[in-house]
Amino acid sequence: MIEFWVILTGVLVGITCGLAGVFLILRKMSMIADAISHTVLFGIVMAFIVTQSLSGLWMLVGAAVAGILTAYLVQLLQSSGIQEDAAIGVTFTSLFALGVLLITLFAGNVHLDVEHVLMGEIAFVPWDRWTFLSITMPKAVWMLLLVLVINIAFLVLFYKEMKLSTFDPVYAATIGLPVVLLHYSFMTTISLTTVSAFDSVGAILVVAMLIGPAATAYLISKSIKQMFIWSTSFGVASAVIGYYVAKWLDTSIAGMMATAVGVIFIVIFSIDKLNQRLNKKAVAMLNVTEQE
């Protein structure tokens, strides 16, 4: 049963991050996922300081606020003439350092250390359980299911708006779409996705799940809907393969899941490049044949 919960948690991380990562890749915002994965630490600490509670709900709220703040500060710095990469770097290092400082000052005696927040440990997930409506499941599973529902609802309700504002934001703004509100709402879902995976793969490793499967899906997809299907499929495959390889090698489960993400990307990338070369050769041979 323990193995089931660990695998289920990894699969839920793969699906949730796979869905959220698609528009991150399409919007060329993959690095902001790294930024948010660090700055949510600040939001979590602030949530604890204000509420004096380690409740998962308040952690989600704090993370969402931190994610919105990160997106706002990055946008503000960019509009001031600072390059995007520099804006992201300044924002996430500053807020992350402030989060570490606040932990040292106000949460030194609480189980809220930097290593726990950033690295996580999926093997411990089955032991921390919540009971809701007479159903008992690990806390991480409850949180991931909640965020998965939120992500699906957001995509279903605003798919067309997100698609249009992603590929033609000027036209989207011209016809009256709330482009800025959509942007910050999307950043909120990314923040919630990140913090929901803390207890499973950790904030650093969740970046691999947010970016890797979606980037891999981008290589072989011909539509956004296909990209969603492939991205979640690669996320699930990475979780399952990573778990069994980690069990076989007796090593970090979360680390092996992230490694599986990279291996799958390399394999698909190599196959895609090989197909492109073969297609070019086929076209060249066809042209030669026609000329003869």
For 237-280, what is each residue's pLDDT tens digit?
999 999 999 999 988 888 888 899 999 999 999 998 888 887 77
Contacts of 82 (CB under 8 A, 6+ apart): 90
DSSP code for 80:
T
Cβ–Cβ < 8 Å for 231, 18? yes
How far apart are the C-alpha atoms of 12 and 201, rounded to whole Å? 11
With CA atoms as reference, report the closest residue to 63 among 179, 162, 198.
198
In angstroms, how far apart are the furthest CA atoms of the chain? 81
Percent of the chain with pLDDT strictly greater than 70? 88
In whole angstroms, give the CA distance from residue 24 to residue 32.
8
- Three-state DSSP state, 136: strand
Q: Is the dihedral of CA 271, 275, 278, 284 positive or negative?
A: negative
Q: What is the pLDDT of residues 179-238, one digit of tens each?
A: 888 988 888 888 788 877 765 667 667 888 999 999 999 999 989 999 999 999 999 999
* Distances 53 to 31, 60, 62, 88, 195 between C-alpha atoms, Å: 31, 12, 12, 30, 16
Predicted TM-score (pTM) of the model is 0.85
Q: Which amino acid is at 273?
A: K
Cα-based torsion angle of the residue sequence 20, 26, 32, 33 in order, rounded to the nearest 10 degrees: 30
Strand extents, DSSP E, 160-252: none
pLDDT given for residue 148 in this prediction: 93
Rounded to a whole number of angstroms, the distance between the first and last alpha carbons of the chain is 67
